[in-house]
Structure 1
């Protein structure tokens, strides 16, 4: 496939074609990444509700660390796509080299920190006994794949910035198959339980990182990193961090918020925690098309910003809104229609009927906000692609800290609605934050180009 033609389509071709051309492989890639969690959750749920609830409980902590790598990756996509749009390939090569080394170094430092302090972190979150044991075990093992995951993030950014979303998808697909094969073998055949699921993912991620490195070394990418006599470039790192830090703060602020959210949810009982975790995994799978389109928008907006074609960048965003809204409505109808079958399929352990019942209720509530989640993702793609990640950060943090958490706290302490208050707050917060995103969009401050 000629990915130079993809770049021509991004800058000059039909906008819908450009969005779909880039987003389809990204959607598939995102589905594959989500399958990592779903496959782990599927097999862990067969062990028991307690083990499943424990892995769900510590997920935001892992995401907190991952969010830093995601922030650098988003900055990488924005910067590299704008440089390619401006036909500054040499600068793109330099930035790619710096970003790769920055990701690997950051991932390694965070891995070491996480492994050492896993138990302390989980204990601070307020759990004891078996929940503490399983949560610590799973969290500590998941930290081991951070350097490899961070490397894949930046590889993905390099590929997406040039319109090549196929290669990361193929490599992720192979990695996901390896993970799916290893999960039941390590969990049950080798009797490793929860740790088997984490180790399967580590092996798959290591092999994925190695495959990405081999692809870049073969010189098939438009962007060619060069590590001969490598030294960190202060100017490039500072400019990258200026864009990466707001994005990382937005992601990590959301992750910290989910840590607090989990402490409130677990107070309603293990059944509520397990239902919450399973439905989030399901909706994450259904929302991948919208997330894929928003990721494509980062590249399309970025390249058109680099070419100073701001009208086309705006038109791309508007069309992404139409696409994500339509997909969200279809997803909403499907989830509500098949809610009982979906929950019963993914929650394999039947040791608590309350988990099933609460999962069905939550799925109904969150389904109604599926179109809003797509709109939210489109706003994120616009602000990130333009380099104005501070607005994406504001939306990410505000949704959780200023809308969702206060609502949950109010319902918990001043009403008797029970766990349904959580489900309502999760859904309603998406509406509020989309209104906020529209206000930012109309002010047009996001059109100030930070990168060039």
Structure 2
């Protein structure tokens, strides 16, 4: 493990990112990120296996229906984390470790309080949404959403921890956290669902128990373990300017995440109109697909780190090379996954159909929908991977308003409108093909926008004259403006 993740302090990692070969650095930093993404994708996969095989298809469908709602509520943490990663990455690029520590402490406290503030809204949402579905499904939605309210502050802390570690070029730390979370989730799912047979209540308690233990571990890592990045709350006071900048950069990403997951919620509502069996089949295909989509898209996180640090260090050329390397690596991974999933999709779906209380006819009905859905979904992996890398570059450049537009167009214009336009012709399959269409269209359009953008425009320099001077220097090197005249 030490060979995969060489021990380096933050200064050494920064120097490697700035002065190392961008392709090699991308591969080195992406390895733990890809491994983390693989482990991360196993969490919904194992959750789905436990829910379908131990709790039944109605409970599994209810949890799948709730996921985009929870993600909407968790969108604020994603906005904070995205902004934090850009701000910390650029501050780290200047070599200001004391500033990185101060900013990180601000973000940790602010994020945890924000998670607590979101809890009443989660409860209110549980009551509203559950009343819109058929009684059996709605009852399970109400129980799960109400209990999951307790998990929200810990979700916020997890997102912020990832942002701090990724912003300082230490993605292996998030990998270790994800391994611990996966092991705890499997253990608590076994306890609550398999041994105690607690159904939908057990599903929520498994998440709560796992996240509590992980957050304790993260606190020790950030505030107790000795090192150059050890945080402290001694003499803590909120820095209004830091919080203002955090929200300025984070709100677009938060709104983007909310809009995306609102789109997913409406899509789930559309699928649920075909019945709980169809909703469960779609949830199974999504659980399996999480592995395929998470791996290539995880490259975007590494691209964010490399772009932000290189741009802050005044090296647009290396930032661009890091981006293009990310596109290639993401696409290669996606193509390999498409081949694997086309071969193994029937066997993977069968893993979710081992509940002895379900009839063979019901299992076959779920299978007949889930396998084609899975095969169609996998076609869009390449487009989604490229789209994620493009988003990662925009975030690294602190252009966080563009991901807001991208998320809106990808889900609402390209996908949801496609579904509404073709649902009478394709039925529920319009949902699956809409995913393919939206991912490739969004990848193409925003790749072009990124190529035409000024990469220095939003960089958080210590003073504006530094940024102006850097842009002029780059243009002189490119031959687009005359060289400076020497003083006579």
State TM-score, norm by structure 2.
Answer: 0.88
- Give the equivalent residue in structure 2 for 1:122: 130
CA deviation after TM superposition for structure 1 residue 90, in Å: 2.2
1:172 matched to 2:178? The reply is: yes
- Cα distance change of structure 1 residues 266 and 277 upon mapping to structure 2, 3 Å threshold: same
- Cα distance change of structure 1 residues 220 and 315 upon mapping to structure 2, 3 Å threshold: farther
Q: After the TM superposition, which of the residue ranges 374-383 and 44-53 deviates more from structure 2?
A: 44-53
Alignment match of 1:324 (pick from 322, 330, 340): 330
SS of equivalent residue, structure 2 residue 234: coil
Q: Can you list the C-alpha shifts for 1:190-247, whole angstroms capped at 9, x where unaligned?
A: 1211211221111111111111111112344543433222221111111111111111
CA deviation after TM superposition for structure 1 residue 390, in Å: 1.1
Q: Counterparts of 1:68-147 in structure 2 under 5 Å?
A: 68-123=76-131, 126-147=132-153
CA deviation after TM superposition for structure 1 residue 327, in Å: 0.6
- Give the equivalent residue in structure 1 for 2:483: none
- Cα distance change of structure 1 residues 321 and 117 upon mapping to structure 2, 3 Å threshold: closer
Alignment match of 1:440 (pick from 440, 449, 453): 449
SS of equivalent residue, structure 2 residue 298: helix
CA deviation after TM superposition for structure 1 residue 52, in Å: 1.2
Alignment match of 1:149 (pick from 131, 150, 155): 155
Give yes or no for contact 2:34–2:299 (8 Å, CA) kept in 1: yes
Alignment match of 1:252 (pick from 247, 258, 270): 258
SS of equivalent residue, structure 1 residue 287: helix
- Give the equivalent residue in structure 2 for 1:38: 45
Greater Rg by CA: 2
- Give the equivalent residue in structure 2 for 1:11: 18
The answer for unaligned runs of 5 or more in structure 2 is 1-6, 462-488
- How many equivalent pairs are there? 448
- Cα distance change of structure 1 residues 221 and 358 upon mapping to structure 2, 3 Å threshold: farther
1:26 matched to 2:37? The reply is: no
1:424 matched to 2:433? The reply is: yes
Q: Can you list the C-alpha shifts for 1:308-343, whole angstroms capped at 9, x where unaligned?
A: 211111110001000001111111111111121111
SS of equivalent residue, structure 1 residue 145: helix
Alignment match of 1:378 (pick from 384, 389, 405): 389
Q: After the TM superposition, which of the residue ranges 211-220 and 232-241 deviates more from structure 2?
A: 211-220
- Give the equivalent residue in structure 2 for 1:338: 344
State TM-score, norm by structure 1.
Answer: 0.95
Alignment root-mean-square deviation, CA? 1.6
Give yes or no for contact 1:159–1:221 (8 Å, CA) kept in 2: no
Q: Counterparts of 1:182-331 in structure 2 under 5 Å?
A: 182-220=188-226, 222-331=228-337
